Amino acid sequence: MRHRNNKLLKLNTGSKKKTVFIRSLLSSLVAYNKVTTTPKRAKVLKAEADSLFSKLVQLYDAYENEKDAQRECVRVIKSTIYGEEAGKKLLNELLPKFRSSKKTSGFVADYKVWFRVGDWSLKVLVTIV
């Protein structure tokens, strides 16, 4: 039986933990606006990024006072994103853009690029829309 066994979330990350690996991919995505990776990792990254961005937009809209909303968003960003520069970029550049577009999902897009040279596995480009 397959109760609560999501094979998509089983990433081959070696000695790294899954959450650390996904957080580092997410930090790179925020810092550079794009990441090239394998299809399985891209699916997980896309789900995590959409979840984080929609959570930040909803959290920002939940508070009437902008200062309180920004403080809560900073708390969530610090617990998820590595690096101060990427966190500031997400808070100051990307979050206002997401709020003005009035979207609740679809913040990230993925495109099949080509095959990797070393082992001929498919590469996927994940970008912030």
One-letter amino acid of 6 = N
pLDDT of amino acid 103: 87
User: Which CATH number does the domain 15-128 belong to among 3.40.50.720, 3.40.1280.10, 3.40.50.970, 3.90.1030.10?
Assistant: 3.90.1030.10
Report how far residue 81's alpha carbon sits from residue 52's, in angstroms, rounded to the nearest whole number: 10
Report how far residue 129's alpha carbon sits from residue 83's, in angstroms, rounded to the nearest whole number: 21
Neighbours of 28 (CB within 10 A): 20
pLDDT of amino acid 67: 93
Report how far residue 9's alpha carbon sits from residue 19's, in angstroms, rounded to the nearest whole number: 10
Contact 35, 126 (CB under 8 A): yes
Q: What is the pLDDT along the chain (129 residues), one digit of tens a residue?
A: 667 666 666 676 665 678 888 999 999 999 999 999 999 899 999 999 999 999 999 998 999 999 999 999 999 999 999 999 999 999 999 999 999 998 889 999 999 999 989 899 999 999 999
- What is the value of pTM for the model shown? 0.86
Domain positions in the chain are 15-128
